[in-house]
Amino acid sequence: MEYLFLIILLVFMIGMMFFQTRKAKQQQEERKNFWSNLAPGTEIVTIGGLIGKVVEVDEQYEEIVLDSEGSLLRFTFRAISREYVRPAYVSDDDVDENGNPIDHSADQQDETQEAQPQQIEATVEETFTETDTDNQAPMPKQ
């Protein structure tokens, strides 16, 4: 019984090691493909957080030249973390308390309608009834 437990534990540990090394190899292959596909004009982020555009790639020495706001910097391939994707920015004024977008075009239409005074046309007709006398004013019809 004890040997069976040890064998199961040993198989489980070997299986975990196998899957971890397999995953590490896949990640390493992805990094090599990323480094080999770098081209001038690509925006990247270094492991230190520097954001810049690729100016030159030297595959022989595994070096890359970045332009970061006018400063040319040389890094090794291993210093490159990932490709830079600017995050989307949404102002707090553009979403409601639940995070749903607010439609400002409807608000602008309401404001333009409120700004224009509405004209109401009404007519009042004067009619006399048979009981009216000469000294009473005419009654408006409602």
Model pLDDT for residues 104-133, shown as the tens digit of each residue: 776 565 565 565 656 666 666 666 566 555
Phi, psi of 29 (to 5 degrees): -65, -40
Place of tokens 């749903």: 100
- Over residues 52-77, the pLDDT tens digits come to 999 998 888 888 999 888 889 999 88
